[in-house]
Chains A and B, each alone.
Chain A
Amino acid sequence: MPDKLILKVKDMETHIGQYHILQGVNLEVPEGHVTVLIGRNGAGKTTTLRSIIGLTPPSKGSVEFNGQMIHGLPPYTIALKGMALVPEDQGIFSTLTVEENFKIAMQKEDKVTLERKDWILDVFPDLKPKLKQKAGGLSGGQKQMLSIGRSLVNDNKLLLIDEPSKGLAPIMVETLANAIKQIKSHTTVVLVEQNFWLASAVGERYYIIDDGQTVHEGVMEDLIKDKVLQQRYLGIGTKE
């Protein structure tokens, strides 16, 4: 793999309370691509993302981001190094306006950032007429767009997106796929996704997480062909 690695996770383990959630996660994420994490419910995909950005700090192992070791740092420091998370519940501030949701995320309010915001509004045109409205009034799909858009407003090098298709109508999932394809040209993406259609539409590399461990990795096209692997780890049936 000739690409530069933006993120390298080695033997990461995470405990939450008395539970040993992650028991050895290894990831190598090449810059400029979409890497998909897949696996069953409860396999540890969300915890993997949360551990990388420091919300549930890993108890063992290392996380290297853009050449720096970041495990053990507080989340805000990691975020300032150029990483963003779009959480499963979207993390929208519903009492703030859409505009304020962008504003609070902006680390700088310079010309480049404002231009980036304009670009985001081009990618997600639905948000444009809603800027002055409270974010709580947005539809599920619009909230997801805001959440992803907000995470792009800084010059981030890596975007962690947790199950963006959850609860969205099929048509919105297609819009999302197009958006992620556009984002890819700006930022590296690590995507947790249960929706195999979306995962295969945007993903280039994949990792399968099972019981808190990375058990398989490869190129997305190979997984799409490999029905046995799909059935074994993803529970995807033979019916198409």
Chain B
Amino acid sequence: MDIFVNLTIAGLATGMMYYLLSSGLSLIYGLMGVLNFAHGSVFMYGCYAGVYTFSKTGNFALGIIAAVVVGAIVGWVMERVVISKVYGQHLAQMLLTTGLMLLLNELIKIPFGSNILPAFQPESLQSSWQVGEVVIVKYRVFLIVLGLIVAVILNAIMSKTKLGMTVRAGVQNPEMVQVLGINIKKVFSFVFLLGSALSALGGALMAPALGAVNPEIGLMYQMTGFMVVVIGGMGSLTGTLLSALLVGLASSYTAYVYPDAATAVIVIVMIVVLLIKPSGLFGKGAE
């Protein structure tokens, strides 16, 4: 029983990080139809920005803020300079964002080298609580709570504000949004910035849980990110959240029983979900 509780908490914590990584990916694909292969690199920049700032200042919150700012800037520049030029051209998008990924992954090596960079948890979150037989790691609880807060805020933005309404409408019919007098390109830029900031936030929070980061970390997590998006349904944040938690839990339980299958189980979840609902859990699909 205590094992089960522990695995569940670990799975939910990992799931929340997947959510932060994937929510941006989902919005960017859902709204703009862009498969952003450089999204993982932004996640990795978030890792480095967070770890570096924390190590220099000793302030963990500052590290998180730095990661969000770096992610937002990298995302915004990427959208303005490169991706905005190739909207609607899927092949060009894939090639260019893959190129950006390689570029970003190499650039990070100039200041930090290609070796791993150790990442630490803040002291206040290093300990754990003992509840009966169950040991609850504080940092994991912190991840879950923070992930939930982000999910609630994102959900409020999407459901209550005109911007959120525009994004939901734009996912369905970007042309009609324009005809109603809204400059969809501005909305695109903002969503790209937001998605990138979320990805970097995910990176900054994930790094201390992993203990170390390296320039290839984005690539590793990006594939999981894409699978989470596909399972949840493109463009649906609720779907992404459920899918992320599902994937986090599935790999956490599997890792305990048979560690080698922890990644494979994500693919299996994806196959099962797509067999039952080809557009993903909350995907709209063709109407």
| A interface with B by C-beta (< 8 Å) | 53, 55, 74-76, 79-80, 84-85, 87, 91, 93-96, 100, 103-105, 107, 136, 150, 154
* A80 surroundings in chain B (CB, below 8 A): 181
Cα distance A53–B168 in the bound complex, in angstroms:
23
Query: A79 and B168 in contact (CB under 8 A), knowing A91-B173, A91-B176, A93-B176?
Result: no
* A85 surroundings in chain B (CB, below 8 A): 179
A103 and B162 contacting across the interface, CB-CB below 8 Å: yes
Instruction: Determine which residue in A55, A95, A136 has the highest number of CB atoms from chain B within 10 A of its CB, and name it.
Output: A95
- Does chain A have a CB within 8 A of B59? no
* B287 surroundings in chain A (CB, below 8 A): 94, 136
How far, in Å, is A44 (CB) from chain B's closest CB? 19
* A104 surroundings in chain B (CB, below 8 A): 162, 165-166, 169, 177, 180, 182
Query: A154 and B179 in contact (CB under 8 A), knowing A93-B169, A104-B165?
Result: no
Cα distance A76–B180 in the bound complex, in angstroms:
7
Q: Which of B165, B175, B178, B183 contacts A96 (CB 8 A)?
A: B165
What are 17 A-B contacts defined by CB distance under 8 Å?
A53-B179, A75-B175, A76-B183, A76-B184, A79-B178, A84-B179, A84-B180, A87-B176, A91-B173, A91-B175, A95-B168, A95-B284, A104-B165, A104-B166, A104-B169, A104-B182, A136-B287
* A100 surroundings in chain B (CB, below 8 A): 165
A79 and B179 contacting across the interface, CB-CB below 8 Å: yes
Cα distance A107–B182 in the bound complex, in angstroms:
9
Apart from A91-B173, A93-B168, A105-B181: 20 A-B pairs, beta carbons within 8 A: A55-B175, A55-B178, A74-B178, A76-B178, A79-B178, A79-B180, A84-B179, A87-B179, A91-B176, A91-B179, A93-B172, A93-B173, A93-B176, A95-B171, A95-B172, A96-B165, A103-B165, A136-B287, A150-B180, A154-B181
Bitwise, B117-135 to A at CB < 8 A (1) or not (0) is 0000000000000000000
The 10 A-B residue pairs whose C-beta atoms are closest, nearest first, are A91-B176, A79-B181, A93-B169, A75-B178, A80-B181, A76-B178, A105-B180, A76-B183, A85-B179, A104-B165
How far, in Å, is A18 (CB) from chain B's closest CB? 17
* A150 surroundings in chain B (CB, below 8 A): 180
* B179 surroundings in chain A (CB, below 8 A): 53, 55, 75-76, 79, 84-85, 87, 91
* B181 surroundings in chain A (CB, below 8 A): 76, 79-80, 105, 107, 154
Within 8 A of A (CB), among B174-224: 175-184
Instruction: Determine which residue in B165, B169, B172, B183 has the highest number of CB atoms from chain A within 10 A of its CB, and name it.
Output: B169
Give how many B residues have a beta carbon under 8 Å from the other chain's beta carbons: 20
How far, in Å, is B142 (CB) from chain A's closest CB? 34
How far, in Å, is B236 (CB) from chain A's closest CB? 9
| B interface with A by C-beta (< 8 Å) | 162, 165-166, 168-169, 171-173, 175-184, 284, 287
Across the interface, name the chain A residue whose C-beta is closest to B170: A93
* B184 surroundings in chain A (CB, below 8 A): 76
Q: Which of B172, B175, B180, B183 contacts A94 (CB 8 A)?
A: B172
How far, in Å, is B64 (CB) from chain A's closest CB? 32
Across the interface, name the chain B residue whose C-beta is closest to A150: B180
Across the interface, name the chain A residue whose C-beta is closest to B175: A55
How far, in Å, is A81 (CB) from chain B's closest CB? 9
Cα distance A80–B179 in the bound complex, in angstroms:
9
Cα distance A93–B176 in the bound complex, in angstroms:
9
Instruction: Determine which residue in B173, B176, B183, B184 has the highest number of CB atoms from chain A within 10 A of its CB, and name it.
Output: B176
Across the interface, name the chain A residue whose C-beta is closest to B179: A85
* B180 surroundings in chain A (CB, below 8 A): 76, 79, 84, 104-105, 150
Cα distance A100–B164 in the bound complex, in angstroms:
11
Cα distance A91–B180 in the bound complex, in angstroms:
10
Cα distance A76–B174 in the bound complex, in angstroms:
11
* A91 surroundings in chain B (CB, below 8 A): 173, 175-176, 179
How far, in Å, is B164 (CB) from chain A's closest CB? 10
